């Protein structure tokens, strides 16, 4: 199952995207510049660590604006 979460923060030029990796044990995290879509940072994290990462960004003022789950197959 593919998952994608997008987080934004008011007055921030960046958005954070969590996307499922091809390996189901990992998640790709991208920090994107909103105006251009340019990737400003990337992380490959364990899927089990995703709640801590989402919580870290929420404590920095980011909120979830989009949460997609796709069932493949």
Per-residue pLDDT of 47-63, as tens digits, reads: 999 999 999 999 999 99
pTM value is 0.86
Q: Where residue 68 falls among pLDDT bands split at 50, 70, 90? A: confident
End-to-end alpha-carbon separation of the chain, Å?
Answer: 9
Percent of the chain with pLDDT over 70: 92
**Position with higher pLDDT, 67 vs 13:** 13
pLDDT at 31: 98
């Amino acid at each position: 199952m593919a998952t994608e979460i997008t987080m934004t923060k008011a007055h921030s030029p960046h958005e954070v995207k969590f996307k499922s990796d091809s390996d189901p044990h990992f998640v790709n995290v991208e920090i994107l510049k909103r105006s251009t879509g340019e990737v400003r940072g990337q992380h490959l994290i364990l899927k089990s660590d995703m709640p801590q990462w989402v919580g870290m960004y929420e404590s920095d003022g980011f909120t979830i604006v989009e949460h997609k789950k796709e069932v493949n197959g």
